[in-house]
Amino acid sequence: MMHEEKPGWKKRAFDELRKLSITVLYIWVLLSVFALHREIILRSYHIDYPAKFGFAFINAVILAKFMWLGEILHAGKKAAGKALLHSTLWNAALFAVILTVCHLLEEALVKVWHGNSFAASFSQALADPKDIFGTMLLMFVVLVPFFFAKGLIEILGKDEIKRLLLKARTET
């Protein structure tokens, strides 16, 4: 009986870093687009709000780290082995909740940084349920293509995805 050798710690670390980098890039692009959109909307009301792409990058790193932690802790494994649609929607919903909680904590911590108490800051972050729901819905919609792509990679494999994306189709 042959047994497969596990990859060494360097390869595993590199693979995890690569996955984390892809997640950071995905979230950074989306947060940058949202920041640019916010700037355009506010400019139409003559409010100066320059897009903060560096801040979007820092947020992307933090949010990607929480997603990575969630994966390490096997959040979303309930949907493993289910249909791609089911696992995509489950993971998008689960991680939208996780990231919304992180976002609310971040908002509270920023207010604490500016001198407010944590209790007051957290209650202010929770003050507008419509805003919380909108944020969670936005995160859900943004995460659907992310988890769909991850699911396709798991099903078809990296090599097949590369072939489908990067090789020209031949005429039959």
Do 54 and 18 have their domain in common?
A: yes
The answer to whether the CB of 26 falls within 8 A of the CB of 37 is no
Do 113 and 148 have their domain in common?
A: yes
The number of domains in the chain is: 2
Do 86 and 24 have their domain in common?
A: no
Asked if the structure places residue 2 within a domain, the reply is no
Asked if the structure places residue 91 within a domain, the reply is yes
Indicate the pLDDT class of residue 172, thresholds 50, 70 and 90.
Answer: low
Query: How far apart are alpha carbons 15 and 52 in whole angstroms?
Result: 30
Out of 28, 45, 65, pick the residue that ends a domain.
65
What is the pLDDT averaged over residues 46-51? Answer: 80
The 10s digit of each residue's pLDDT in 100-116 is: 998 888 888 888 999 98
Q: Would you call 34 helix, strand, or coil by DSSP?
A: helix
Residue 35 lies in domain: 8-65
Asked if the structure places residue 95 within a domain, the reply is yes
Do 45 and 82 have their domain in common?
A: no
Query: How far apart are alpha carbons 136 and 97 in whole angstroms?
Result: 6
At 23 the pLDDT is 93
Q: Would you call 75 helix, strand, or coil by DSSP?
A: coil
Do 93 and 130 have their domain in common?
A: yes
Tokens of 164: 């489908």
Asked if the structure places residue 155 within a domain, the reply is yes
Out of 65, 86, 104, pick the residue that ends a domain.
65
Asked if the structure places residue 60 within a domain, the reply is yes
At 82 the pLDDT is 86
Indicate the pLDDT class of residue 54, thresholds 50, 70 and 90.
Answer: confident
Question: In this predicted model, which residue has the larger pLDDT, 172 or 126?
Answer: 126
Asked if the structure places residue 145 within a domain, the reply is yes
At 89 the pLDDT is 95
The pLDDT of residue 4 is above 70: no
Query: How far apart are alpha carbons 102 and 117 in whole angstroms?
Result: 18
Do 53 and 133 have their domain in common?
A: no
Question: In this predicted model, which residue has the larger pLDDT, 123 or 5?
Answer: 123
Do 115 and 50 have their domain in common?
A: no
Do 150 and 79 have their domain in common?
A: yes
